[in-house]
Amino acid sequence: MSDLLPGGTRIKDLQFWGGYGTASFTMKRGSFKIKDRVQERIPLTLTDNGERLTLSDARGEHCVAVTLSHSSGVARIELQQTAGEPFTRFWISLPARASERIFGCGETFSEFDLKGKTARIWVAEHQNLSRIMGKVIRNTLSKPAANRKLRFEKYETYYAQPTFTSSARYFVHVDSDAYMEFRFDKAEHLLYLHTMPKTLYIGMSETYEGLSTALSGVLGKQPLAPTWINDGLIIAVQGGTDAIKKKVETALAAGIPLVGVWSQDWCGARITAFGHQVMWNWAHDATLYPGLEALMAEMKSKGIRFLGYINPFMAIEGELYRFASARGFCIKDKDGKDYLTTTTTFPAAMIDFTNPQAYEWYKNVIKKNLIEFGLDGWMADFGEYMPVDAQLFHSDDNTQTHNTWPALWAQMNREVLEETGRQDEIFFFTRAGHTGTVRNSMMMWNGDQHVDWSEDDGLPSVITATLSLAMSGYGVTHSDIGGYTTMPKCLREPELLMRWAELAAFSPVMRCHEGNRPADNAQFDHNNETLTHFAKLTRVHVTLKDYINRCVLQNHEAGIPVMRPLFYHYDEEALYGQPYAYLLGRDLACYPVVVKGQTAKEVYLPEDEWVHLFTGAEYRGGKQYVECPMGCPPVFYRKASPDRELFEQVKKLHDKGITG
């Protein structure tokens, strides 16, 4: 047991407390106010009588049986209370080093290194929409909310998972779905839970690759997405059949390799104070999209797939809601009525996934209305809005069911593909997550970023979010090119869109989003410059598709993330301070431009020999000052890479001209 943690730490060096408390959870537009009251905290002492380990208080009134086992470099500590009133609060203290860096806890946007921070493990809407929406509706926004710096502890996240990785080469995962807070101080990591966890996993390895593989053994393997997604750009189109035809013609005429059209309003639209939003009735809207089936068939014959949108809610104006409500398939409020939740500006009902009949019915909705209709993929949105005060068909404790909801939603989508035999053909991607999402979701996207350059919610934040997910065991992620959330004084400019496309070219998939106010945002076809830019970057992405697909396969087989921190393969202290750069696989070092107006930047390359992907210039490790004009982002390949010939094709594209 002497090797449980680095530095010779033993299980007896961990500290435990049990206790009792109460809490209230108030949700508004997916954001939660949590009032927590600890009533009692009881120190527990670990004893070993030679046959078993136990935790008990000084009076012997409470007792917890501890079972310790090891497998493949992972220590498994199981806890089972055998005496006393069941704990409703539990604390675990693990020794820490002042020099440690901490990463993970799901998806963190504003910070990557969590040392000195407290992470809240509770699935929620990332942006505080109740704050944003009130100001947008009244049109009194004085400045973009994204530029208002908040303390890290104030931010919420779509994907919250009780998993963290240390620079000391170990990970910790807590097997619990309850509300938690992880506080990472200089001398200890204090884990606070609203229940006693079932199991504590602590994995060790000499390398980050070994840690990722060991963690995947705990969390599960991520399903593979179909490889066609890297054959080109997936453009976003809203507004009807004619709009699709026009956008597709424009893209193809500009030389953009198209692989998909994503229409989130395929099932209808509504115009609200927030902008252009989807009508949540999950069936083809023949009025808005006449002749869509024929158009989908025509596009698919040219290699262009059609993707849609769905979430666990239903518009109360729709036929699906009336059917579900009549059969009791919706979650209920305290009075037994359908629980109506407002996400932005309109109320909607949510399907009760704990009801087996409702669960199967919703799966059949996806099978019939999406797959049989002809969709080749969809955004499986939401998952974080399950209200704690709802009445469910089956739930022992909604404060634990809440966190499991996004994993259950991803599971439903995965089961649909497996039951229809379409898992190798259809692509779905999710936004929210918790333990269990990894083994059910093909891919995450980073959610509804602001269409700006802010570190908390804009372009830079998708890099920290992606890397924190990578260090939490989730390895295939992408973002909306250009962001989503548009407000009166926060509109997407062409420069931001094009820089975002440069980042997306070096990610698992390139997919656009028009945003909630399409007419106010620059789109891929904004002008000849944006069209030419997207043509070039998409061709770069397609050139790299075999390399990217091998990285995705490695994630599926060994849990090694596609986009990795710079320090993942290089043990250099300076690399830990690079939250806005990453490795794409083993051999590409990417430094996206995330500052408005920047045309040159200083980068810190890992100690190796590197070649600029676009210019062919060679560099050694350390600080380098490089030019980064539009269309030529600072991306470098390892000179010793076995894929050098493939990477050299990108330079040939660049030298040949914009579209190749």
The predicted structure's pLDDT at residue 136: 47
Neighbours of 167 (CB within 10 A): 19
Residues 155-205 pLDDT 10s: 899 999 999 999 999 999 999 999 999 999 999 999 999 999 999 999 999
Residue 606 exposed, middle or buried by CB count within 10 Å (0-12, 13-18, 19+):
buried
State yes or no: is 396 an active-site residue. Answer: no
The Cα–Cα gap between 495 and 102 comes to 33
Strands 233-236, 258-262: pairing is parallel
Q: Is 308 strand, coil or helix?
A: strand
Nearest in space to 514 (alpha carbons), one of 475, 470, 471, 482: 482
φ, ψ of residue 350 to 5 degrees: the values are -115, 140
Buried b / exposed e across 8-25, counting CB within 10 Å, b at 16+? Answer: ebebeebbbbbbeeebeb
State percent of the chain over pLDDT 70: 95
Kindly list the distances between the CA atom of residue 262 and the CA atoms of 265, 293, 300, 364, in Å, as whole numbers in the listed order. Answer: 9, 14, 13, 22
State yes or no: is 177 an active-site residue. Answer: no
Kindly list the distances between the CA atom of residue 151 and the CA atoms of 34, 119, 148, 191, 351, in Å, as whole numbers in the listed order. Answer: 17, 11, 10, 20, 34
Is the model's pLDDT at 32 over the cut of 50?
Answer: yes
Is the model's pLDDT at 208 over the cut of 90?
Answer: yes
Nearest in space to 561 (alpha carbons), one of 228, 229, 215: 215
Neighbours of 242 (CB within 10 A): 12
The predicted structure's pLDDT at residue 659: 40
587 close to 643: Cβ distance less than 8 angstroms: yes
DSSP letter at 8 equals G
Kindly list the distances between the CA atom of residue 8 and the CA atoms of 3, 78, 167, 630, in Å, as whole numbers in the listed order. Answer: 6, 21, 16, 51
Top pLDDT among 527 and 154 is at 527
Q: Is 4 strand, coil or helix?
A: coil
Is the model's pLDDT at 582 over the cut of 60?
Answer: yes
Nearest in space to 658 (alpha carbons), one of 534, 556, 477, 567: 534
- Residue 29 neighbours by CB under 8 Å, 6+ apart: 125, 129, 130, 133, 342, 343, 344
The predicted structure's pLDDT at residue 370: 98
Residues 103-129 pLDDT 10s: 999 999 999 999 999 999 999 998 655
The Cα–Cα gap between 367 and 390 comes to 28
- Residue 38 neighbours by CB under 8 Å, 6+ apart: 19, 20, 21, 89
- Give the pLDDT mean for 508-530: 97
DSSP 23-65: EEEEEETTEEEEEEEEEEEEEEEEEE-SS-EEEE-TTSS-EEE
φ, ψ of residue 162 to 5 degrees: the values are -80, 65
- Residue 372 neighbours by CB under 8 Å, 6+ apart: none
Residues 261-306 pLDDT 10s: 999 999 999 998 888 899 999 999 999 999 999 999 999 999 999 9
The predicted structure's pLDDT at residue 149: 62
User: Tokens 């055998």, residue?
Assistant: 82
The predicted structure's pLDDT at residue 101: 97
Handedness of CA 327, 329, 334, 339 (dihedral sign): negative
The distance of Cα 202 from the centroid of its chain, to the nearest Å, equals 23
The Cα–Cα gap between 223 and 427 comes to 11
Residue 302 exposed, middle or buried by CB count within 10 Å (0-12, 13-18, 19+):
exposed
Q: Which amino acid is at 399?
A: T
Is the model's pLDDT at 660 over the cut of 50?
Answer: no
Residues 411-423 pLDDT 10s: 999 999 999 999 9
467 close to 579: Cβ distance less than 8 angstroms: yes
Half-sphere CA count of 295, side-chain side, radius 13 A: 20
The predicted structure's pLDDT at residue 293: 97
119 close to 108: Cβ distance less than 8 angstroms: yes
Q: Is 612 strand, coil or helix?
A: strand
Q: Is 342 strand, coil or helix?
A: strand
Mean pLDDT for the chain overall? 94
Encoding tokens for residue 70? Answer: 């090891």
The Cα–Cα gap between 9 and 96 comes to 10
Residues 547-567 pLDDT 10s: 999 999 999 999 999 999 999
Per annotation, catalytic residue among 265, 338, 376, 384: 384
Model confidence band, residue 2 (pLDDT cutoffs 50, 70, 90): very low
Nearest in space to 3 (alpha carbons), one of 93, 73, 50: 73
Per annotation, catalytic residue among 107, 231, 338, 381: 381
Neighbours of 610 (CB within 10 A): 25
346 close to 137: Cβ distance less than 8 angstroms: no
Is the model's pLDDT at 139 over the cut of 80?
Answer: no
Residues 328-352 pLDDT 10s: 999 999 999 999 999 888 999 999 9
The Cα–Cα gap between 383 and 404 comes to 9
Does the model's pTM come out above 0.85?
A: yes
Long-range contacts of residues 644-648, Cβ cutoff 8 Å, at least 24 apart:
644/611, 646/543, 646/544, 646/546, 646/547, 647/544, 647/587, 647/588, 647/611, 647/613, 648/616
State yes or no: is 335 an active-site residue. Answer: no
Per annotation, catalytic residue among 111, 448, 456, 514: 448
DSSP 230-251: GSSEEEE--S-HHHHHHHHHHH
The Cα–Cα gap between 651 and 260 comes to 26
